[in-house]
Amino acid sequence: MTLVPRSPIPVLRELPDHAQLVLVDGADVLLHNEQIYWPAAFLKQQLDPGSMAVSIEAACDAAVYALPCPADSLVGMRFSRCPARQLLQSSLPGVFDQVGKALQLTHWLISHRYCGFCGQPLLAHPAERALQCPQCQHRVFPRISPCVIVLVRRDRHILLARHAGRGSATFSCLAGFMEVGETPEQTICREVKEETAIEVNNIRYVRSQSWPFPSQLMLGFHADHAGGEIRVDGDEILEARWFEADSLPAALPPPFSVAGQLIALFLQSLKV
Ligand SMILES: [Zn+2]
């Protein structure tokens, strides 16, 4: 008889055979026959049955779980490795959602092993998707970090910047983490001013996107130029420029990203 998991954070042996798992190794997903799902019945025979998985849906007894899984634990098994960023671009229904959640939840699970109050190892909560301290009962839920991303407009021009680090050839929107106590509008004014010395007004919310590197909620806005000339620090921002709508740079954010969508919506607005 198959045991039904009581917790949204079961160990592998507690999963029903019909459950499916998404295996995550860092920022990569390990694929089974080029698919993101592995059958629980198979993995229960192959891996440590005490490995902790986490439900991708918040409800108990869900059908899909994420499992933190270093590739070297798949000894003798056929698999392939795919960067999650690549999978997020998939047009297959549900893949962005499921891979994004699997990445965030596995990162949360392996980075919260001990209680922040008393140092005891955390255990799975029996009924909620949370970890709990057996000593002081402190609970830790998956955490989301809100960020703003903004496309600043000046007539037919938009402000784009090259950021230091990954993808530094790409010109993208300005973005930043919200600080404690800020509203998104305040973060936008602060970030744009800090990064480019530009002042903005007329801030309009456009759309949002979960971004699992490791757990951002991107809040996307349009805003208008209110004053100032571009000045960058050359450290976090390598270069920032106003681009006319008809002469945008070749390296832009991908269309599936909220940055790409903010730019596409600006271009559409010019055609109306
Ligand atoms: Zn504790």
Q: In this predicted model, what pLDDT tens digit does every residue of 77-122 receive, in sequence order? A: 999 999 998 998 887 778 889 999 999 999 999 999 999 999 999 9
- 175/264 same-domain check: yes
Domain check: are 230 and 160 in the same one? yes
Ligand 1 mean position to 117 CA, how many Å? 5
pLDDT-derived band of residue 60, with 50, 70 and 90 as boundaries? low
Statement to judge: residues 70 and 151 lie in one domain = no
Furthest-apart CA pair in the chain: how many Å? 70
Query: Residue 4's pLDDT band (boundaries 50, 70, 90)?
Result: low
Q: 57 pLDDT band (50/70/90 cuts)?
A: confident
Domain count, the chain: 2
Over 60: is that where the pLDDT of 137 sits?
A: yes
CA 132 – ligand 1 centroid, Å: 8
Spatial separation of the C-alpha atoms in residues 33 and 90, rounded to whole Å: 16
Q: In angstroms, what is the span from residue 139 Cα to ligand 1's centroid?
A: 8
Coil vs helix vs strand at 96: helix
Regarding whether 250 and 163 lie in a shared domain, the answer is: yes
191 and 90, same structural domain?
no
Rounded CA separation 150/32 (Å): 38
Distance 144 CA to ligand 1 centre (A): 22
- Is residue 232 scored above 80 in pLDDT? yes
Distance of CA 137 from the midpoint of ligand 1 (Å): 6
**Whole-angstrom distance, CA of residue 143 vs CA of residue 22:** 20
Same domain for 149 and 107:
no
240-272 residues labelled b (16+ CB within 10 A) or e (exposed)? bebbebeeeeeebbeeebbbebbbeebeeeeee
Query: Ligand 1 centroid vs 130 CA: distance in angstroms?
Result: 14
Instruction: Tell me the mean pLDDT in the region 15-38.
Output: 94
Beta-carbon count within 10 A of 202 CB:
10
**CB contact at 8 A, 14 and 5:** yes
Same domain, residue pair 266 and 156: yes
Question: Is residue 136 in a domain?
Answer: no
Residue 118 lies in a domain: no
Q: How confident is the model at residue 211 (pLDDT cuts 50, 70, 90)?
A: very high
Task: Give the Cα separation of 82 and 34 in Å (integer).
Answer: 9
Ligand 1 center–CA 136 separation, angstroms: 4
pTM: 0.89
Taking the centre of ligand 1 as the mean of its atom positions, its distance from the CA of residue 121, in whole angstroms, is 8
Q: What angle do CA 149, 86, 263 make, to 5 degrees?
A: 30
Domain that holds residue 202: 145-271
Q: CA distances (Å), 26 to each of 71, 111, 119, 213, 214, in order?
A: 10, 11, 24, 10, 10
Statement to judge: residues 82 and 165 lie in one domain: no
Cα angle for residues 212, 146, 207 (degrees, 5° grid) = 85
Structural domain contains residue 126: no
Cα(59) to centroid of ligand 1, in Å? Answer: 25
- State the pLDDT at residue 166: 67
Q: How confident is the model at residue 6 (pLDDT cuts 50, 70, 90)?
A: low
Q: What is the mean pLDDT of residues 131-135?
A: 97
Cα 11 to averaged position of ligand 1 atoms, centre (Å): 22
Whole-number Å distance between alpha carbons of 172 and 151: 9
Q: What is the pLDDT of residue 75?
A: 87
Q: How many CA atoms lie within 13 A of 151 on its CB side?
A: 26
pLDDT tens sequence across 8-23: 999 999 999 999 999 9
Q: Which of 85, 111, 137 is the last residue of a domain?
A: 111
Residues 156 and 254 reside in one and the same domain: yes
Calculate what percentage of the chain has a pLDDT beyond 70.
95
Predicted pLDDT of residue 62: 64
**Distance from Cα 105 to the centre of ligand 1, integer Å:** 21
The pLDDT tens digits of the residues spanning 235-270 come to: 889 999 999 999 999 999 999 999 999 999 999 999
CATH number assigned to the domain comprising residue 161:
3.90.79.10
My answer on whether 102 and 156 are in the same domain is no
In the predicted structure, residue 37 carries a pLDDT above the cut 60: yes
Say if 224 falls within a structural domain. Answer: yes
Do residue 95 and residue 208 come from a single domain? no
**Å from CA of 123 to ligand 1 middle:** 10
d(CA 188, CA 196): 12
Q: Are residues 152 and 106 in the same domain?
A: no
**Residue at 37 is within a domain:** yes
Last residue of a domain, one of 64, 87, 111: 111
**How much distance in Å is there from the Cα of 133 to the middle of ligand 1?**
5
The rounded Å distance from CA 182 to ligand 1 centre is 30
Q: Does residue 72 fall inside a structural domain?
A: yes
As beta bridge partners, residue 240 has 161
**pLDDT over threshold 70, residue 58:** no
pLDDT at position 90 is: 81
In this predicted structure, the answer to whether residue 212 has a pLDDT above a threshold of 60 is yes
Amino acid found at 9: I
Q: How far is the CA of 122 from the centre of ligand 1 (A)?
A: 8
Domain harbouring 57, CATH code: 3.90.79.20
Instruction: Measure 8 CA to ligand 1 centroid, in angstroms.
Output: 20
Expressed in angstroms and rounded, the spacing between residue 4 Cα and the centre of ligand 1 is 28
Span from the CA of 24 to the centroid of ligand 1 (angstroms): 28
Amino acid at 23: L
Average pLDDT over the chain, rounded to whole?
93
Considering the domain boundaries, does residue 218 fall inside one?
yes
Helix (H, G, I), strand (E, B) or coil at 46: helix
* End-of-domain residue from the set 93, 111, 129: 111
Residue at 105 is within a domain: yes
